[in-house]
Structure 1
């Protein structure tokens, strides 16, 4: 089966169940049958592994910055990272009620009323963090600079850093690391196993494609910024997980994200474009995307095959990873 064809559809992929629903007025179609396929994958709440666990504290863990941290109280948790992964994990561990602060990227519905500790420019506000009186602050080394850590620690806040890289291999270890820091290691083991099982089920259900589709992840911020993902971006491992070929890596891109010229885009020749929802909006939707130089000359651009995912879903690699793989595969290949 190839990526050619003539049907048009708008697809809403629901992460909670992994199902795909088509609009009532349009026939179902898939990226493998070709034609214009616009798929939007939204963000839903992580599913708690069980009843709220009772943390076994104190818990001493090695923070990703190399320091040893002893957490004595997990009643007031703030979780801040680039993709909302830490807040998702806290919620899925059953400690959602203990989450008192989050970053902008943690945007799933259940935390809509949890205060955002980002400043107006999106950077971390130490004042906002301290105002929430956290007992523990979970973050990564790209979201909170050492100076921020020292300010928080000087104020008596326990700060635990986690690996900022988001990869398939790192999903379960990071879930366990968060659970260990919060004194709920058993819940972490159960959540890690459930997530691993969901990933295995999702990948096993992906149809074999010959040839495999070339999928390009584009980072968009208005028409002024167009970057293609390559090795180490996180998008490359997600594309591989659904049986695709990362178009950026295949085209010789050597960095996680590289500004791309129209000539390079044409040469990459992706069959499907994968973008973040906010980025797609910033260029004026699919109509605006195909006006970006080089896009219209690619197979994906000519046939308007675009999958957009909520920003905090696409590269979060947290407890929803199995559902993300299922939803993305359904969007690219069609619901089973």
Structure 2
């Protein structure tokens, strides 16, 4: 056989393999587990096969409207199997582990994206999803863009020392604030704020005495948290809030916690927006626009 004929046959075989793989992927039924994974699929335009999700997937809206198989960490094999999936793409904290093992045992393909809850891992997560969904090039491009935005944020000048409270939820008259080892704490540090409650671990309710003692200068609250407590007027009426610098000056920033803290494709932009909001609130001169202008040729 001539070299030219061999090359032609090899190319034909490779093309047939690609077409067969593409047809198989097009007919597969996927379940996505994890809001960050769902957002990444959508950002890479790789969500066409997704027919179901878990409760943490609330964005994009089209995916949020899909049937849910339950809560990410408390799945049941029966619920997942009821939608007859071929493939599951899951965040590393999906579970229980035994349920995933049951699903794999009956032939459901399972791909788990293990990534630490850190800003540095966002790009790696995007690349991993790109590789698993035949969007390697798109994944590399998106990961590079997100890493560039995070690097831009990290290189901004320091803000004036400012203590903040990050309120995630609200119950009765007691706000639930973020301590250290939380995504919210990471976000505060990333934009140059000090967490007024960094001595506590995780999310905890904080009363009037703690608010007055820790004296936050800025309140950052999720949209859902502010709505749950009855709006901004109700926030400033919380016991102890009037004793804080934030309460006296009514310094408030409202954020989309799912976009900011999901450590997905939207996080970098949300952090940059939060930084701008903080600068505007403090009247700081270390603006993102000025920093960008200084680096322009």
Structure 1 residue 89 displacement after superposition: 0.8
Aligned CA distance change for structure 1 residues 234 and 56 (closer, same or farther; 3 Å): farther
Corresponding residue number in structure 1 for 2:180: 231
- Give the TM-score taking structure 1 as reference length: 0.68
Corresponding residue number in structure 1 for 2:164: 215
Structure 2 residue corresponding to 1:189, chosen from 135, 140, 150: 140
The size of the alignment, in residue pairs, is 263
Aligned CA distance change for structure 1 residues 197 and 233 (closer, same or farther; 3 Å): same
Q: Does the Cα contact within 8 Å between 1:274 and 1:306 map onto a contact in 2?
A: yes
**Greater Cα offset, 314-323 or 217-226:** 217-226
Aligned CA distance change for structure 1 residues 325 and 125 (closer, same or farther; 3 Å): same
Aligned CA distance change for structure 1 residues 258 and 222 (closer, same or farther; 3 Å): closer
Corresponding residue number in structure 1 for 2:43: 92
Corresponding residue number in structure 2 for 1:78: 31
Q: Does the Cα contact within 8 Å between 2:37 and 2:90 map onto a contact in 1?
A: yes
Per-residue CA deviation, residues 286-312 of structure 1 (Å, 9 max, x unaligned), is 222223332232111222222222231
Which structure's residues are more often helix, by fraction? 2
Gaps of 5+ in 1: 1-53, 59-71
Per-residue CA deviation, residues 54-84 of structure 1 (Å, 9 max, x unaligned), is 89979xxxxxxxxxxxxx8584332222xx1
Aligned CA distance change for structure 1 residues 56 and 216 (closer, same or farther; 3 Å): farther
Matched, 1:259 2:236: no
Per-residue CA deviation, residues 30-73 of structure 1 (Å, 9 max, x unaligned), is xxxxxxxxxxxxxxxxxxxxxxxx89979xxxxxxxxxxxxx85
Aligned CA distance change for structure 1 residues 301 and 161 (closer, same or farther; 3 Å): farther
Correspondence list, 1:1-336, <5 A: 73=25, 75-81=28-34, 84-112=35-63, 114-119=65-70, 124=75, 126-163=77-114, 165-204=116-155, 206=156, 208-209=158-159, 211-223=160-172, 226-249=175-198, 252-253=199-200, 255-334=201-280, 336=289
Structure of higher CA gyration radius: 2
Q: Determine helix, strand or coil for the equivalent of 1:317.
A: coil
- Give the TM-score taking structure 2 as reference length: 0.76
Q: Does the Cα contact within 8 Å between 1:203 and 1:325 map onto a contact in 2?
A: no
Aligned CA distance change for structure 1 residues 276 and 126 (closer, same or farther; 3 Å): farther
The answer to which structure, 1 or 2, has the higher relative contact order (CA under 8 A, 6+ apart) is 1
Give the CA RMSD over aligned residues.
Answer: 3.1
Structure 1 residue 184 displacement after superposition: 3.3
Measured in 2, the distance between the counterparts of 1:129 and 1:154 equals 13
Gaps of 5+ in 2: 1-17, 281-286, 290-297
Aligned CA distance change for structure 1 residues 136 and 121 (closer, same or farther; 3 Å): closer
